[in-house]
Every structure is written in structure tokens, then in C-alpha cells.
Amino acid sequence: MFRYIVRRLLQMVLTFFGATFVVYALMFANIDDPLQALVGDRPLTDTQRSALNAQYHLNDGFFTQYWHYVSGLLTGDLGQSLTGRPIGDMLAQAWPVTMRLALLAIVIAAAVAVGAGVLSGLRRGGAFDTVTLVLTLLVLAMPIVVLAPLAQLVFGIQLGWFPPTATRDANLYQLLLPALVLGTLVVATELRVTRASVAENLRSDYVRTARAKGLAPKRVVGVHVLRNSLIPVVTLIGVDIGVLMSGAVVTEGVFNIPGVGFNLLRGIRTEDGPLVVSFVSVLVIVFLVINLIVDLLYAALDPRIRYE
Amino acid sequence: MPGKSPWKVAASLATIALVAAGCSGSTSEDTEVLPNSISIGIGEPSSLVPSNAVESNASQVLASLFYPLVRFDPQNKPYPVAAQSITHDKANRVWTVKLKPGFTFSNGEPVTADNYIEAWNYGAYGPNAQRASYFYSRIDGFADLQAKDPDDDGPEKAAEPQATKLRGLKKVNNLTFTVTLSENFAGWQSVMGYDAFLPLPKAAFSAPGVLNKEYGEAPIGNGPFKMKGKWSHDEKIVVEQVADFKGTVPKIGGITWKIYQDLGAQYADLIGGNLDVETKIPIESLGSASGDLGDRLGKTPSSAFSFMGFPLYEDKWKNPEVRRALSMAINREEMTDQVFLGSETPAKSFVSPVVSGARPNSCGELCEYNPTKARQLYTAANGPKDIKIGYNADGGHKAWIDAMCNQIKASLGVNCAGAPQPKLGTLLDKVRAKEDAGLIRLGWTMDYPLMENYLGPLYTSDGSSNYYGYKNSTFDSLVRQGSAAPTTAQAEKLWREAEDLLVRDMPVLPLRFGQNVFGYSDRVTDVTMDLYQKVDIYSIDFAD
């Protein structure tokens, strides 16, 4: 087990540098003239341009720029955004609210998906199952760019149940609507997977055996079926965190939450290379760590799986 | 059972996460707007250092923290505010600024001539790379503060500039200083109303000529408000009233500048009652805005000017008759009404009529919609059969460009199509390389309220934004003569003559003038906006 974790961690280091390199290369190719974007339509004077170029190493070739970035990264200095703010500070300010939002969305989505999924798996073809099927199709069909402003309009403005926007130190109530919207991104798939896997396991041999032994139905479903059905769901939830992070770009924009997605969107708009790369790098780390945790959890859930 | 524990762990982790998500944010209630203060929506400012601020978000916040040398009356004539008097010599070259006595910065430092001189020197010094540095370029000695990179973008470091201080700034006494310009200029007083000409306290500098890194996070100004805490990036900037301020005291006790990235989110907060003023109603909400806001929806003119440049390096656009015909083929009213829902107004002159001396209809019948005449003229002059309109796709221009093309097709019976480029930069690169990019969509917002601020950069041969290559030496000399004229009345007369040449030559198609379309909550009243997209913080008041 220990050796497995060490090996995974080493792989993560490689993946991390590979990913930042690719992101850096993409941003480098995309950036046209970020200094001009900074001042709008007005021409920059030569002196301004050379001073800013020197500050951000914009004149150097790709590998020199990447080297500047990586060496800064290894010494804990993430550099400055093009607006002159230390990126380390921006990350520290942006992450907590996005984490809270994503966690809340995951908890809501998982609770709904597992609850409703198990119910409809147990009563396949029933009224409840049909209704959830239709609802999940609806949710799947609605892109978040539509859903987020719509939810804001209906629940935030017209009904006034929730505040229409949230801030950095938002409380649970303010984050609830954005989290619900974000959760819809993943709830449908999680629900369908739970349902399918419960339905499948209900027909398996060990469940028949458990029933034949005379175990109470509650125990058959609660322990035998549920535990085995949730293995694919747990994996899915881990992967979904990545989906949620990309969904946060839209949700945070609509609800004005100054988190990770909000900053990424701005960085891309203003061609702020250092900002985008740093935020994506941290996203990569989060994604890698969560995947590791999911894999470990997998072994804990399924005794057949052993890591060497 | 060994398998049970992971579930318990997972369940308790989830609970903890949920509780943590809820609890850690519970402090947000005390940051709500105080009862005697209002909230105004802005975008994240790029910088709060006056010499580095070139956009309206920063400008709005600075207007609350600083007291400028001059402000502008409703006719856009400058009048002294922090200055006691501003006088000039006969040639308009040496300007003497006398400050009002008794003013202090919010940290208690007295405001002296040195504060202005040091701030302007800092802003003009090339290696500081301040975005508003070109504002100082009229001051004598500006060129000596700039350095040319010896190998142009190469690895060699730029040389140090010859000087660190502007030769044209001289202290007379504690409250008086003189500004010597490199060329005579009658409109200098108006220029000094801009943010770049605000003073900086001694506390802003960590060493002479070196700005304190932390200063921009919580600027100390000489204005009616001071920072409460620091700039909370992407969230808000809170300012509160300065006790016994010597100048005009605003009616409100404080302002929370709430920062939004998205105008739609800002509009939602305005309607939801979480925001008092939104300075720009998004165009997609304009349809419902009058219903949502009623008479709390306001419109005032702004200085924005949208126009279309003819690529004059192409043969097909060389004939002015063709350009005039195209101008008459466009129905400007229809565009502003149908596409912009009345948020912009049709442009029938080359200089926005908001500035002193400018006329609303200098273009005359050439900017009136007259399809029959346009067609006659166009056919007679043998205008091009295919028209392309180049624009940047990231600015939301497609709708009106398409509408304009349809008008051209209907009026002239020629083909017309939009030619989007990803960014304005890409479009301008093509234009600079004299490639076939089509007509060039452009816009302009003034820096100071003078006709010259349109005529100079947009139409003179060496104008910084004359991308289309209009050259007319008579025009150039008229603009220059106007700038050097002894009085503003004479200057404006010369500038109007220059504008008449534009009507004849038609180097661009004037299309629309912008407006500030803003909305406010029922908590506030007397909300107005100036030409620089700023809310007037001195007139805004609470509704009873």
C-alpha cells in the first residue's frame, strides 16, 4: 500500500509538470499582445512597453519564459498577474470560496443522487422511477449557461428566496443557490449510475443468498446491495470534481463569486498568462490528489482490490 | 465488519464539510452596507494609483478619494476645485496653479505644491510604466524622462532616461507651482481635471521617486472620503467620510464600491435590492429595465463615439464621393432604436457634441438617411460592388454590423458582409499591414473635454488612433493653430473649421454617440453621471 502511494505521488509530479507545460504552451500560443489589452485602445509608449516587457519577461523565448515560471514556482513564488497583484495572494483568496461551493454542490448532488437512485433502483418501472428519469433527462439537457442565469432570475429576483449574488465570505444560505445550480451538472449521471448499479446488484447471487438466509430486507439492501452498488458511484463523484471546477467558471461568473472560475475567466479574457497557468496548475494538483483518494477509497470499499 | 468504517468516515467527512461550508462564512452580515452609506457597482479597477488609472472603474473610486484641481460645469467648462486659481501667461505656455490653503490628506499631511510635482514626476518617468503617462507629454521635459530601448525588444536593457524630473514643473512656494508646456496650449486647464493630475502624499513614497508598494491597496487622498480598510480585490472597496473636510461635502456618509465581473450579476443585485446604483445597464436587460426600474432608470450623454474608418490606403475608397454616398445609405436612427434600444444616439458630427464648442450636426445632410441620393451618387462615382466590414468578434458588435450591412444592401444594391476578427488587436494589425480588412470598426472616449481630444488623435496625420491613414495638411495645421490659440473661443473656432474639412473629406463614418444608461434603487435620489461614466458623488442623496 505504502509503495503504491509513493509510486502514485511520483507519477503525480510528472503529470503536474506535463500539465503545466501544456497549459503554458497553449497560453503562450494564444497570447497576442497582453500589454495592449491592459491599456485598451491607446498605443503604449516605447518606454512603457520595454519596462513592462522586462517585468514580465515577455520578450524572451518560450522556454526561457517557462523556465522563469517553473523556477519561481519551485521557490514558492508564483509571480505577478499582469495587473500587478501577487498570484499567490489571489490563489489564497480565491480557493476557499470555490472549495466551499464545490463541496456543498457535491454533498447536495451525492445526497440527492444516492437517495433517489437507490429508491428508483429498488422500484424499477414505478412512478417514482419514471418521474426521476424524465427529470434527469431535463437536467442533462440544460446547459449550465442557461440554468445559472435562469435560476438567478427565478429564485433570486422574481421569487426572492435566495440572494441573487454571493461574495467571497458568503454564508451557507448565499451559496445554496449557486451550489444547487452547480450540482445539477453531475447529479443526473450520478443518479442514473446508482440506479443501474442497485438494479444490477439486486439480481446478483449474493443478494439471493442473503435473502435465502432469511436476512431482513432492510439489511439486505442497506448493507449488501448498497455497499457494492456505491463503488462505481464513488469513483464517479471523484471524477465529477473536475466537472464541477469547469462548471464553476460559469456559475461563479453569474453569481459574482470571486473564486477560481471567476479568476480563470478573467485571466483568459485579458490574456493574463501567468494568472491562468497558476490557477490551472492548482486545479491539476487538486484533481490528482482527489483521484488518488478515490482510488484508495476504492480499495477500502472493495476487498477484492489490492494495491501493491 | 471492516468495511463499515470507510462509510462512517465518509459520512462524517461530508457532515464536517457541510458544516464548515456553512459556518466559515457567517461573518458576512457585518459587511453589509452601513445605514448612511450607499453601494455603487463597478468592475475590478486595474489600479488605484492615479497615474496608473486609465479606465472608468478606477476613476470612479479615485473621484471619491481625491479632490481634483478642476472639475467641469454642465457646459463642460473647467472651474477650480482644489486650486484657488489657475492662471497662464499670454502665450498659454506657462501655467500657474495656486492651491487652496488648509487642505490635508486623510492621514493629516498638508497638501502642498510638492505633492503635485512629485506625483507627476513619478507618473511621467518612463521606467515606472504608468499607464496614464502620456497625459504628461505636453509638459516641458517629458521626452527626457523616456528611454528608447536600444535594440527594440531585444535582450539589451533600455538605457536610463536622461532626467528623473520634469523640467517644466517649478515650485514657487508651498501652495504655488508653475507648469511650463513644450508648446502653447489653450486647453491645458481642462487636461488637469484628469486623474493623472491628482497629488500624492509623502506617505505614498518609500524613497524619493519610489512608490510604496502598499499604497495602491489603500490610497490616501485629499478627497471627501477615505479608505475604510484595504481594497478587497474582486469584492469591494469601502470609503467613509473624512471628518471636517474643507471642500464640498457630499450628502452621503460613505460609499461601498461593490465589484462585479458581470454586468448581468450586477443588474440582478440592483433589482434584488442589494445594490443602490448600477452605472451601466447591460443591453440584454434594457428591454425589461424600464418595467423593472420605472423612473429609476436614467440616461445622460457620455463622450463615447462609435465610427467606421475607411481604409484610405485602398484604391476603392479613395474617392470621397463614394464615402459620402455610403454615409447617406445608412439609417443611423433605425440602428440606435432597434439594435441599441435607445441606449445610444445617432452621430451626425465628428466630435461629440458634449464638449464645449462642438456642434451636434456638423455633418449636415451627408449624415442623413437618403437612399435615393446615396444610390445615384454611389453609382455615378462607381463605388465598389462588395463591401466588407471588419470588426472584433469579442465586443458584441455582430448585431449592429449585420443590421448596417442590410441597410447598405437595401440602399445601394451592393453586397455587404461582416468580416469578424477575434480581437481588436488582430484587426488593427491587419490594418497596419495594409491588408484587406474591410471598413474598420472603431470607438473613442475622450480624456478631457476639448474638441482637440477628438480631432488630434483621430484625424491628424500623426494621430495616435488614426489607423485608417487620413492625411490632410490643412486640417493638421488648423488643429495645431487651435491648440496654440490664445483663448478657448478662438481655439474652438479654428477647430470647427478643421471639422468642416472632415465633412468634406469624410475619412470616417460617424455612427453613434454613447449614453450612460444607469439605474438606481429607491433608497437613493439625485443620481447623475458625467461624461467620464462616473456617478456624481456630490449630488447623490438618500430618498426620504
Contact, B194 vs B186, CB < 8 A? Answer: no
Residue A12's nearest CA partner among A305, A281, A205, A235 is A281
pLDDT at A45: 66
In this complex, which of A45, A168, A255 lies closest to B265 when CB atoms are compared? A255
What average pLDDT does the segment B245-249 reach?
A: 91
In this complex, which of A41, A100, A168 lies closest to B21 when CB atoms are compared? A100
**Which range is least confidently modeled, A272-281, B138-147, B214-223, B290-299?**
A272-281
Please give the Cα distance from A33 to A25 (Å, whole number): 16
Write out chain A residues lying below 8 Å of B57, CB-based: none
Q: Which three cell numbers stand for residue B72?
A: 467641469
Q: What is the distance in angstroms between the Cα of B172 and the nearest Cα belonging to chain A?
A: 30
Orientation of helix B4-23 relative to helix A87-122, angle to 10°:
130
pLDDT bracket for residue B29 (50, 70, 90):
very low
Write out chain B residues lying below 8 Å of A83, CB-based: 46-47
Q: Is the pLDDT of residue B343 over 50?
A: yes
Give the global pTM: 0.82
Nearest C-alpha in A relative to B231: A85
Please give the Cα distance from B239 to B231 (Å, whole number): 10
> What percent of chain B shows pLDDT beyond 70?
91
- Hey, which residues 54-73 in chain B have their CB within 8 Å of chain A? 54-55
pLDDT at B156: 53
List chain A pLDDT tens, one digit each, 308 residues. 788 888 888 988 898 888 888 888 888 777 666 676 666 656 666 677 777 777 777 777 778 878 878 887 777 777 777 777 888 888 888 888 888 888 899 899 999 998 998 888 888 888 898 999 999 998 888 888 888 888 888 888 888 888 888 877 778 888 889 998 989 888 888 899 999 998 888 888 888 888 888 888 888 888 888 888 888 888 888 888 877 877 788 888 888 888 888 888 888 877 787 888 888 888 888 888 888 888 888 777 777 777 76
pLDDT bracket for residue B31 (50, 70, 90):
very low
Q: Is the pLDDT of residue B186 over 80?
A: yes
Contact, B7 vs A302, CB < 8 A? Answer: no
Report CB contact under 8 Å: A47, B47. no
Interface residue B129 vs chain A (CB under 8 A): yes
What average pLDDT does the segment B300-326 reach?
A: 90
Strand duo B277-278 + B508-520: pairing: antiparallel
Q: Which three cell numbers stand for residue A150?
A: 435562469
Residue listed under C-alpha cell 467527512:
B13
Residue A175's nearest CA partner among A239, A235, A96, A122 is A96
Report CB contact under 8 Å: B265, A256. yes
Residues linked to residue B344 through DSSP beta bridges, in sequence order: B514
Report CB contact under 8 Å: B31, A169. yes
In this complex, which of A45, A48, A172 lies closest to B22 when CB atoms are compared? A172
pLDDT mean across residues, chain B: 87
Domains of chain A: 2-74 (no CATH), 92-301 (1.10.3720.10)
Q: Is the pLDDT of residue B26 over 50?
A: no
Write out chain B residues lying below 8 Å of A107, CB-based: 14, 17-18
What average pLDDT does the segment B190-212 reach?
A: 91
**Which range is least confidently modeled, B147-161, B462-476, B527-541?**
B147-161
Q: What angle do CA B459, B464, B468 make, to 5 degrees?
A: 55
Query: Helices (DSSP H) in B44-187: which residue ranges?
Result: 56-65, 113-124
Please give the Cα distance from B348 to B503 (Å, whole number): 10
pLDDT bracket for residue B148 (50, 70, 90):
low
Interface residue B291 vs chain A (CB under 8 A): no
Query: Which ipTM did the prediction report?
Result: 0.78
Write out chain A residues lying below 8 Å of B28, CB-based: 167, 169-171, 174
Write out chain B residues lying below 8 Å of A167, CB-based: 28, 31, 235-236
Nearest C-alpha in A relative to B143: A47
Interface residue B540 vs chain A (CB under 8 A): no
Interface residue B462 vs chain A (CB under 8 A): no
pLDDT at B18: 53
Q: What is the distance in angstroms between the Cα of A83 and the nearest Cα belonging to chain B?
A: 6
Report CB contact under 8 Å: A171, B25. yes
pLDDT at B404: 93
A270 against B340, higher pLDDT = B340
Contact, B374 vs B326, CB < 8 A? Answer: yes
pLDDT at B48: 92
Q: Which three cell numbers stand for residue B345?
A: 444616439
Q: What is the distance in angstroms between the Cα of B54 and the nearest Cα belonging to chain A?
A: 7
Q: Which three cell numbers stand for residue B75?
A: 457646459
pLDDT at B140: 93
Residue B62's nearest CA partner among B73, B50, B44 is B50
**Which range is least confidently modeled, A34-43, B150-159, B291-300?**
B150-159
Among A48, A154, A225, A290, the strongest candidate for a mutation testing the B interface, having the largest count of B CBs within 10 A, is A48
What average pLDDT does the segment B382-397 reach?
A: 86
Q: Is the pLDDT of residue B21 over 70?
A: no
Among A60, A161, A169, the strongest candidate for a mutation testing the B interface, having the largest count of B CBs within 10 A, is A169
B122 against A26, higher pLDDT = B122
Contact, B320 vs B504, CB < 8 A? Answer: yes
Mean pLDDT is highest, among A10-14, A293-297, B101-105, B485-489, for B101-105
Q: Is the pLDDT of residue B171 over 60?
A: yes
Strand positions, DSSP E, B285-377: 297-309, 344-346
Please give the Cα distance from B40 to B35 (Å, whole number): 14
pLDDT at B30: 41
Contact, B293 vs B519, CB < 8 A? Answer: yes
Q: Is the pLDDT of residue B120 over 90?
A: yes
Q: What is the distance in angstroms between the Cα of B319 and the nearest Cα belonging to chain A?
A: 28
Among A35, A90, A172, the strongest candidate for a mutation testing the B interface, having the largest count of B CBs within 10 A, is A172
Write out chain A residues lying below 8 Å of B442, CB-based: 41
Nearest C-alpha in A relative to B45: A83
Please give the Cα distance from B50 to B62 (Å, whole number): 7
Interface residue B166 vs chain A (CB under 8 A): no
Write out chain A residues lying below 8 Å of B233, CB-based: 85, 90, 93, 258
Q: What is the distance in angstroms between the Cα of A278 and the nearest Cα belonging to chain B?
A: 18
Write out chain A residues lying below 8 Å of B264, CB-based: 149, 254
Interface residue B127 vs chain A (CB under 8 A): yes
Report CB contact under 8 Å: A167, B31. yes
pLDDT bracket for residue B25 (50, 70, 90):
very low
pLDDT at A131: 92
What average pLDDT does the segment B249-278 reach?
A: 90
At A137, the amino acid letter reads L
Q: Is the pLDDT of residue B220 over 80?
A: yes
Nearest C-alpha in B relative to A294: B10
pLDDT bracket for residue B2 (50, 70, 90):
very low
What average pLDDT does the segment B453-471 reach?
A: 88
Report CB contact under 8 Å: B158, A47. yes
Please give the Cα distance from A158 to B69 (Å, whole number): 46
Contacts 24+ apart (CB under 8 A), B415-418: B415/B385, B415/B386, B415/B387, B416/B386, B416/B387, B416/B388, B416/B389, B417/B386, B417/B387, B417/B388, B417/B389, B418/B388, B418/B389, B418/B391
